[in-house]
Amino acid sequence: MTAKRKRHKPEFKAQVALEAYKGEKTINQLASEHEVAAVQVSQWKRQLLQGVPEVFGRARPEVDPDALTAPLYQEIGRLKMELDWLKKKSGNV
């Protein structure tokens, strides 16, 4: 009978990789402590270090300023027309 592969959650992987990065314990100590292979701990550490720049380097999606201001200008125009109409109706022109 073949053994099934363990599936670890991303939180677990991140925790082990951070511990490996800190260097307070050896890779082998961490592997035996968390019951994973030492090679796996090294891979998670490498993935962590490769992924760090992406976390801080994400670009914000560009927003078109015209798309934001066009509805506001439309609302201003509508309110101005309503105000002019109300002034005309009340006789305060």
pLDDT in tens, 59-77: 677 778 888 899 999 999 9
Predicted local confidence at residue 53, as pLDDT: 83
Output the CA torsion sign for 45, 47, 48, 52: positive
Q: What is the mean pLDDT of residues 47-55?
A: 87
Q: What pTM, to 2 d.p., does this model score?
A: 0.57
Q: Say which residues have a Cβ less than 8 Å from residue 30's Cβ, sequence separation at least 6.
A: 16, 19, 20, 38, 41
C-beta atoms surrounding 17 within 10 Å: 21
Q: What is the mean pLDDT of residues 17-45?
A: 93
Q: What is the residue-averaged pLDDT of the chain?
A: 89
Rounded distance, CA 28 to CA 42, Å? 10
